[in-house]
Amino acid sequence: MDERVSEEMEALTAILMDEVTVSTSENGTTTVESVLFPSTAADEEQQFVTVTLTVELPAGYPDESPAIRLRNPRGLDDDLLAKILSEAKAKCEDYLGQPVIYELIELVREHLTSSNTPSCQCAICLYGFRDEDEFTKTPCFHHFHAHCLASYVRSHQEMQRQEKEKVPLWQRMQQKDAEHDCVVPCPVCRESLSCQLDRLSMAAPPKDVQDACNFKVTEELRALQSKMNSLYLYQQQKGGIIDPEADENKLLLVTQSSSNENSVESAPVAPVPTTPPQPATGFKPQAPGSRSWKRGGGGHPKAGGSSRGNRGNGRGRDRRNHQSTQMETTR
């Protein structure tokens, strides 16, 4: 490490003591980190903004400019952070070859002191903070209008009450909450907060909330609603809208892949009816015991025989007569 850097680190530790942290990574990079607050004569209740300054020193520092980062800002908007970062980089260029870390810390602290009013929005009502608004700062450095935070606490208490009604009575008797304090999660980071609801409820609503006009449906909004309704119907026709009830009535087709071909399982095929086919019109089947069911038939129309059967019987007699004639000739 350069001798100039070592002397600067010793001076920072002696002046700022616990407010600065110096660490060295495995590759030899030195990092200086400091959590900064506005200058309020050690009155922490009046410190509404904060930011963490991180300075990474390259191997050629102080002849090379360090890398500067602003982390974990609270109560500061993006425009102010960009302004602080731009001025810090310009100061590094002016102090090439000289120690600059202490100058950077003082630069950031001055900006925090001049911008000690939160420049962000209330995460509950989404309005900004005015000078006449009464707001509160949480231990995690998130800011809310006192009136908005009181509404949030009451809503959370009602939700807790409804949840307690679902548990058995003996468990409810074991849970004893404070009468004036209420522990709720932070609306932003979910860290536990202890709030005094009585004091918060005394605050007036934010100025922007009071000045906000009542919501009215304009013609432009009606046109947008009509357009979105048409788009919804179009998507519904194309199957782009999920209907849980309709999905329950759908059939599931399972595809099984094999080495040769794919087979698809579908609904079972209806069985073939066992009823014999109806005969042609004009045909009357006879009982099995009748003469018409015997081979050759009866030969007579009244016996159920057909003309074809009669012809067949005649040919049979001719063959028998021919055989008898041959036997007689042989004799």
pLDDT mean by block of 10 residues, the chain; 331 residues: 80 85 83 89 79 90 89 87 92 89 92 83 87 84 89 88 79 57 82 85 87 80 92 87 70 62 48 53 52 47 47 55 53 50
The per-residue pLDDT for 301 is 46
Are 119 and 76 in contact by the 8 Å Cβ rule? The answer is yes
φ, ψ (nearest 5 deg) of residue 244: -60, -40
**Residue 155: helix, strand or coil by DSSP?**
helix
The per-residue pLDDT for 294 is 46
The per-residue pLDDT for 178 is 42
Helices (H), the chain: 3-16, 78-94, 101-114, 146-164, 169-174, 197-201, 207-211, 219-237, 244-248, 307-330
In order of 279, 288, 316, the CA distances from 297 in angstroms are 20, 12, 12
The per-residue pLDDT for 175 is 62
Angle of helix 78-94 versus helix 101-114 axis, rounded to 10: 150
The per-residue pLDDT for 87 is 93
The per-residue pLDDT for 46 is 78
The per-residue pLDDT for 228 is 93
For residues 91 and 93, give the distance between their C-alpha atoms in angstroms, rounded to a whole number.
Answer: 5
The per-residue pLDDT for 97 is 86
- Give which of 243, 142, 248, 158 is closest to 197, Cα–Cα: 158
Are 291 and 303 in contact by the 8 Å Cβ rule? The answer is yes
The per-residue pLDDT for 313 is 52
Strand partners, 21: 33
In order of 14, 16, 109, the CA distances from 10 in angstroms are 6, 10, 21
For residues 294 and 298, give the distance between their C-alpha atoms in angstroms, rounded to a whole number.
Answer: 8
**Residues belonging to the chain:** 331
The per-residue pLDDT for 217 is 84
The per-residue pLDDT for 297 is 45
Strand partners, 195: 182
